[in-house]
Amino acid sequence: MTSRSCLTVILAAGEGTRMKSALPKVLHTIAGLPIVAHVAKAVHGAGVSDIALVVGKGGDQVEAAVRSIVSSVTVHEQTERLGTAHAVLAARASIARGYDDVLVVFGDTPLIETAALDEARDRLAEGADVVVMGFRPASPNGYGRLIEREGRLIAIREEKDASEAERRIGFCNGGLMALRGNNALALLDKITNDNANREFYLTDVVEIANADGRSVVAIEISADNVIGINTRVELAEAEAIWQTRKRRDMMLAGVTMQAPETVFFAHDTVVEADAILEPNIIFGPGVSIAGGAVIHAFSYFEGAKVGPNANVGPFARLRPGAELAAKSKVGNFVEVKNAKVGVGAKVNHLTYIGDATVGAAANIGAGAITCNYDGYNKHLTEIGANVFIGSNSSLVAPVSIGDNAYIASGSVITADVPADSLAFGRARQEVKEGRAVQLRARYAAQKLAKKAE
């Protein structure tokens, strides 16, 4: 397949008014990635060399989303909405460059799979001139039917025009199509708008190609591949399908998930085999979890790396730049941001570690925090290997704690602590014996006096 050049025309000019959003429809996200970028990702996986992107409103943003996946993109603006064939022909200049294969897909079908596009290209390589991707919905009502005869696709019949026998056909048009490149424009130019809506329909290419004696076939793909997004309800439904696919892929690859339906992945989440994911975990973009790591329930990740056999949560939050080394531990109600936690280090509970390095085997006590922000700038806290930070300590950055140092509980540390030192940073305690009795008597009298007023 790699020896055949391919252009994919992505139709992304729809305004998406039913989304009720100022954002172009195809820029709404699934698993943290714009819908149109999901399409570009599938296309890229099918060995496509170039993309012709047909855009309308918000074209610059749509282009940026596609270019984040594929660099070779030519943008074509569709200024009028005169049907699907008209939209494809907006990319005439790109098609005319000459390709072996031309794929036509929609920018709002984020669940299209590379395997479906591969199959369409395979049929072109075998000699087909037109390949239509069809599916079998639970109910065919409302869909155009694919009419086949002796292995050939002879027509796409809209339901309102279909006979009773044709309406009983369960094989329906998915809208996605592949054309042999050397005759794509010739076929497209023969499409007319001689219909009630005065529009140019891409589906007409089937009967035109048949009339020219060309080979037209249909392939069957799963219904998920052709799900289009027009409303936020459909966006949520597509998200659910994507997550189900991802969970299955993860488990088949060796990841243990105790309650998979409660774990949510981003488009680029990497979890290695033998990692264990407990219930109710959310992964934002840019997260990798190494093998053997255990992620406990109700934890949230974004832009973070977790090393082999590390232990995280429950109720942990790892923000961008968090990096946990092998066998480290980040426990309940701990937040880590832009910080590296060394091999075997422990940050067990109720702690904030931000803009910091934590050395190997260090132990950070409950309630300890790095005070990294002065209201204007962020500063670094360096904690050495085997350091012990006592509970409820505040490390005011910039500050460095040397290897094997000990910070007494409740300390506020504002200056560097050398290696192997013990640091106290708290007020001296005084005890006044009997003073509590006096205080209680005084406060009781004050309370009675207020009531008497």
Which positions make up the binding site? 11-14, 25, 78, 83-84, 108, 144, 158, 173, 230, 319, 337, 352, 363, 366, 372-373, 391, 409, 426
Asked whether the beta carbons of 203 and 179 are under 8 A apart, the reply is no
Q: Which long-range contacts (CB under 8 A, 24 or more apart) does 57-60 make?
A: 57/15, 57/24, 58/23, 58/24, 58/27
Q: How far apart are CA 200 and CA 181, in angstroms?
A: 20
Query: Which phi and psi angles does 96 have, rounded to 5°?
Result: -70, -15
Q: Which two tokens stand for residue 407?
A: 């910070």
Determine contact, residues 372/356, Cβ cutoff 8 Å: yes
d(CA 349, CA 335): 9
List the catalytic residues.
349
Q: Which of 295, 300, 391 is nearest to 337 (CA)?
A: 300
Helix (H) or strand (E) holding 51: strand 50-55
Residues annotated within a binding site for UDP-N-acetyl-alpha-D-glucosamine: 11-14, 25, 78, 83-84, 144, 158, 173, 230, 319, 337, 352, 363
User: What residues contact residue 296 under an 8 Å CB cut-off, 6+ apart?
Assistant: 278, 311, 312, 313, 314, 316, 332
How far does CA 214 lie from the centroid of its chain?
Answer: 41
Element (H, E) at 39: helix 35-45
CA–CA dist 105, 107 (Å, integer):
7
CA atoms within 13 A of residue 385's CA, in its CB half-sphere: 4
Residue 41 near residue 30, CB atoms below 8 Å: no
DSSP tag of 285: S
End-to-end Cα spacing for the chain: 93
Q: Would strands 288-289 and 305-306 be described as parallel, antiparallel, or unpaired?
A: parallel
C-alpha to C-alpha distance for 32 and 267, rounded to whole angstroms: 6
CA torsion 108-110-111-117 (nearest 10°) is 80
Task: Evaluate the omega torsion of the peptide bond into residue 137 and state whether it is cis, within 30 degrees of 0.
Answer: no
Q: Which residues are annotated as a binding site for Mg(2+)?
A: 108, 230
Residue 217: how many CB atoms within 10 A of its CB? 19
H/E run at residue 117: helix 114-125
Residues belonging to the binding site for acetyl-CoA are 366, 372-373, 391, 409, 426
The candidate with the shortest Cα–Cα distance to 356, out of 390, 391, 319, is: 319
Provide the residue type at 188 as one letter.
L
